[in-house]
């Protein structure tokens, strides 16, 4: 049984191919990390023969140490993963000291994980403390979400309200809202720390002028969150300046009652 044939490689290969064809991940844009339970890894690597070590560039939180992650590679194109996953993906185990990752599989061209892997690990740590079932961190560059972020204030409440008021599905899919960061230098520990702080409250964090981060229990959940934001942002941008029939506050509150949702306070007046 080979790891390249596992459901984990198949899931990431298929979703990155989908994301590329959505137009969200140009060139080497976007990255994904997927935490995999030890019991599954042991099925493929019972002896844990590491290929090499890769420095993380920071000290990972204890909650993610000795955990396994399937992660996309730096400089790799999403469109190429489905045809050659062993070059474009890597399976790593975070070292006990939190300072390096042990490579078990992948990156066969001597590559390494995405430069934003530290940001992923920070977000994984934040989400695991909120929900131990969250296993996926997904970063991508959806067009309309970036457009929307360029047109409104950098404010969690404002961004969330405009999404909720544009599409009735939005409040149902992300009732806790969406976090927003200002334009920052990507690939740094600073933006990773800021994203992780937002992830303590949200599963979605918009990076102004850049893209979005999403967290979920599964690949489908993380993708579905981002997909819903992007569809709603598209509606917002297409109708910008022309809206007559905005979703009333009472309808949003009605949806929250119907679905028994705990919605983010301060977005809709009750």
Task: State the catalytic residues.
Answer: 116
What is the rounded CA–CA span in Å between residue 123 and residue 198?
9
Q: 41-79 burial, b if ≥16 CB within 10 A, otherwise e?
A: beebbeeeeebeebebebebbeebbebbbbbbbbebbbb
What is the rounded CA–CA span in Å between residue 76 and residue 70?
14
What is the rounded CA–CA span in Å between residue 158 and residue 267?
8
Tokens of 43: 């099925």
Residue 98's alpha-carbon distances to 33, 60, 118, in angstroms, are 17, 5, 11
Burial class (CB in 10 A: 0-12, 13-18, 19+), 115: middle
Burial class (CB in 10 A: 0-12, 13-18, 19+), 159: buried
- The phi, psi pair for 167, rounded to 5°, reads -155, 120
């Amino acid at each position: 049984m080979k790891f390249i044939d596992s459901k984990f490689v198949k899931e990431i290969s298929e979703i990155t191919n989908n994301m590329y064809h959505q137009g969200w991940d140009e060139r080497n844009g976007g990255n994904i990390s997927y935490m995999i339970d030890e019991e599954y890894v042991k099925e493929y690597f019972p002896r844990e023969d590491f290929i090499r070590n890769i420095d993380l560039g920071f000290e990972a939180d204890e909650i993610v140490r000795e955990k396994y992650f399937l992660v996309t590679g730096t400089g790799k194109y999403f469109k190429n993963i489905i045809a050659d996953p062993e070059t474009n993906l890597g399976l790593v185990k975070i070292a006990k000291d939190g300072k390096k990752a042990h490579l078990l599989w992948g990156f066969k061209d001597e590559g390494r994980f995405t430069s934003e892997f530290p940001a992923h690990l920070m977000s994984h740590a934040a989400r695991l403390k909120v929900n131990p079932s969250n296993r996926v961190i997904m970063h991508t560059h959806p067009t309309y979400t970036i457009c929307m972020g360029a047109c409104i204030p950098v404010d969690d409440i404002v961004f969330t309200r405009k999404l909720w008021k544009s599409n009735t599905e939005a409040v149902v899919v992300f009732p806790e809202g969406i976090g927003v960061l200002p334009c920052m230098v990507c690939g740094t520990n600073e933006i990773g720390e800021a994203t992780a702080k937002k992830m303590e409250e949200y599963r979605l964090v918009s990076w102004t002028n850049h893209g979005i981060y999403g967290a979920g229990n599964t690949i489908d959940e993380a993708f579905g969150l981002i997909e819903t934001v992007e569809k709603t942002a598209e509606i917002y941008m297409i109708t910008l300046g022309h809206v007559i029939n905005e979703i009333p506050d009472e309808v949003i509150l009605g949806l929250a009652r119907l679905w028994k949702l705990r919605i983010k306070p301060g977005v809709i007046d009750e």
